Amino acid sequence: MKYKDDISVLLSGAAGQGLKTVEKILMHILKNSGYNVFSVKEYMSRIRGGNNTTEIRISSEPVGAHRDKIDILLPLNPSALERISGRISDDTLIIGDEENLEEAYRERRNTFIVSINKAAKDIGRPVYATTLAAGLISGMLNADKDIAEETISRIFSAKGDEVVQKNIEALRAGISIAGEVLEKNNISFDIKQDDAVKAHLLLNGVDAVGMGALAGGCNFISAYPMSPSTGLLLFLCENAEEFNIIAEQAEDEISAVNMAVGAWYAGGRALANTSGGGFALMEEGVSLAAMTETPLVVHLAQRPGPATGLPTRTAQEDLNLVLYSGHGEFPRAVYAPGSFQQAAEVSCRAFNTADKYQVPAFILTDQYFLDAYMNLKELTLDSCRAEYHIRETAEGYRRYKLSGGGVSPRGVPGFGDGLVCADSDEHDEDGHITEDLRLRIKMNDKRINKLTELRKEAIEPELTGPEDYRLLVVSWGSNYHVIKEALKNISSDGISFLHFSQVYPLHASAGKYLKKASKVAVVENNASGQFAELLKKETGISSAEKILKYNGLPFSVEELTEKLKSILKGEK
């Protein structure tokens, strides 16, 4: 049996078995051997037990999306196959210990029983089974052995020479088992290796958002840890010394957002980091920023709700939450990157937008986006520059001076001779509390008028495909790569894809794109079609068909391909 161009490897086991370690080892070995790679995790909300999976795609071409198809499956415990049985086909190679396979699976044509656990124990400890599994996959794909051993040495170097040598022994044992499986069963893989890929970056969504934040001048982060947002807190903590960042793990999300508002007031560039449930506690702080016209950047990593929901799964359910968060009326900007390049760019842009217009700016991601790894030729930050809009104050400075565009010169305490006065009550131009209702109207209009300028600087959506489309597929955020691959599979001149990396305010061209289509299909991971409803509100176009998924899993390439084919067929 010969496998070509693009294969999916799935490792399935319990929390605590080291799936994350296997993923880390394999992604580095395969990328540095010249393979294009993509990986994503799906895991339960528990520290030990349950069933988690790591999917790794290896391809001759760049890849960035989840697939249902499994070419190689490694079950690492007896319950590993329970939840993924529907994804196993006759062509799936199942390789694992006999005790990890039910009888029905043992008798399959493409099941190969090997002794991973015994080999690990012979080396010294059961824990070496994870490295052995990584060696098995590396061997099947003919990865560079020297690179594999160098990767093991680097990853385990902090644990001492003995641990390094034992893991190298486990790696070699896995490669040896792979050779036996391939030779005895006439299996081969024909995936092109490209030396240029060896120099590529290997990044996940957290890295991309974090780098964009650094490029945007972020020098303060406050957060209370909450999946799946915690990775960004860790990223900025790890880089705090080099980039002069103050990182504060607050006692709760209320403190976190107020710390961020205070940091901006003092002249910093702060990021409040959270997920949906945590952001629910931050809303009063968002209104505080709006009333005091203090910039604020919030990164919200989405997961299924309500309440705790599915805390380790993915969703796009919090768009309405950020659109309508906070009491009162005030403008804001909302970004939702779909690619890592977009993530870097919009994260930097969020800081500049917040600073320039003195409004809250939101970066919406999700678990799928943040946890996904892939190789990239480059992450371009040339256009990402921190823009500062603080002004030195003079005597008689008026913090809320009425202006036509709604933006008053922003000073900070200690920079100049003026007094910087701010108040969460309605206030006059000097920042003093007022009960003047005519002035209230002027101040409210002043704040709301910023939306006009925000619209002028909105990011234009990205169109992929022909300009004379019949079906226009529309999406936002993390469905970027899966839709692109689905359209590539369909290969039709009648379908194009419009992706929004800024979801509010919308670029003025949005309505033009939608009106050209005979049919519009909006793809998103929620139950009510939140972005479809926003498009209807903003453009007046209400005929969009909604393709929705909200079980906590991302769209797969296969399911989205079939759904779009069906819609396109109906248009003919």
Domain boundaries, the chain: 2-199, 203-376, 390-457, 462-571
Q: Taking residues 184-197, what's their average pLDDT? A: 92
Query: Which amino acid appears at position 58 of this protein?
Result: I
Looking at the predicted structure, is the pLDDT value of residue 1 above 70? no
- In sequence order, what E strands does 145-236 have? 188-190, 201-204, 220-223
pTM of the model: 0.96
Written out in words, the top-level CATH class of the domain with range 203-376 is alpha beta
Residue 571 has a pLDDT of 60
Helix/strand/coil for 112: strand
pLDDT digits (tens, 9 = 90+) for 519-566: 999 999 999 999 999 999 999 988 889 999 999 999 999 999 999 999
Q: Taking residues 456-478, what's their average pLDDT? A: 97
Helices (H) and strands (E) in the chain, counts: 20, 22
Q: Taking residues 219-225, what's their average pLDDT? A: 98
What b/e readout covers 64-101, taking b as 16+ CB neighbours within 10 angstroms? bbbbebbbbbbbbbebbbeebeebbeeebbbbbbeebb
Using CA atoms, how far residue 114 sits from 98, 99, 178, in Å, is 7, 10, 9
Residue 331 has a pLDDT of 98
**Per-residue confidence band for 404, with pLDDT thresholds at 50, 70 and 90:** confident
Compute the half-sphere exposure of residue 476: CA atoms within 13 Å on the CB side of its CA.
Answer: 31
Q: Taking residues 147-161, what's their average pLDDT? A: 96
CA-CA distance, 342 to 380, in Å (whole number)? 10
What's domain 2-199's superfamily in CATH?
A: Pyruvate-ferredoxin oxidoreductase, PFOR, domain III (3.40.920.10)
pLDDT digits (tens, 9 = 90+) for 83-119: 899 999 999 999 999 999 988 899 888 999 999 999 9
Written out in words, the top-level CATH class of the domain with range 462-571 is alpha beta
Length, in residues, of the chain: 572
- Same CATH topology for 203-376 and 462-571? yes
Nearest to 225, CA basis, from 256, 204, 246: 256
**Per-residue confidence band for 453, with pLDDT thresholds at 50, 70 and 90:** very high
521 - beta bridge partners?
Answer: 473, 545
Compute the half-sphere exposure of residue 248: CA atoms within 13 Å on the CB side of its CA.
Answer: 21
Looking at the predicted structure, is the pLDDT value of residue 170 above 60? yes
Residue 569 has a pLDDT of 81
